[in-house]
Amino acid sequence: KGEKGLKVGLRYTSPSGFLVLVGRNAKENDLLTRAAHSEDLWFHAQGVPGSHVILKTEGKNPPLEDLLFAARLAAYHSKARGERQVPVDYTRKKHVWRPRKAAPGQVLYTQAKTLFVEGLLPEPREEA
């Protein structure tokens, strides 16, 4: 807690080593999504309240296992936790925006793709 800089959200490392950030509430979702690079990938469980998840790719195209890792985090940190087939939408951050007068964490997005994943926490990677 005493570190300089903003520590917002839960932090995970994807299988290929990308940083993944998970908002814990509407305010963190808003901050994480706004602070993300335009080419980072943004994930959210479809049609249910849940965390915004940012895969910090900055324009790189991560392998499918990283996309699935981030999608499972989004599914787990949503109202669909524990379900077997959770649709999770993802898109580049530049396609995500907060409409005028919308509450923090409420966004619209376009050009999304959908992954179907289990609403379970992905296996943690051992930090090397």
Report pLDDT digits (tens) over 38-50: 999 999 999 999 9
Predicted confidence (pLDDT) at residue 4 exceeds the cutoff of 90: no
Predicted confidence (pLDDT) at residue 102 exceeds the cutoff of 60: yes
| Range among 34-38, 55-59, 119-123 with highest mean pLDDT value | 34-38
pTM, 2 dp: 0.91
Confidence at 123, pLDDT banded by 50, 70, 90: confident
Mean pLDDT of all residues belonging to the chain? 91
For the chain, give the secondary structure using H, E and C: CCCCCCCCCEEEECCCCCEEEECCCHHHHHHHHHHCCCCCEEEEECCCCECCEEECCCCCCCCHHHHHHHHHHHHHCECCCCCCCEEEEEEEHHHEECCCCCCCCCCEECCCEEEEECCCCCCCCCCC
Predicted confidence (pLDDT) at residue 1 exceeds the cutoff of 50: no
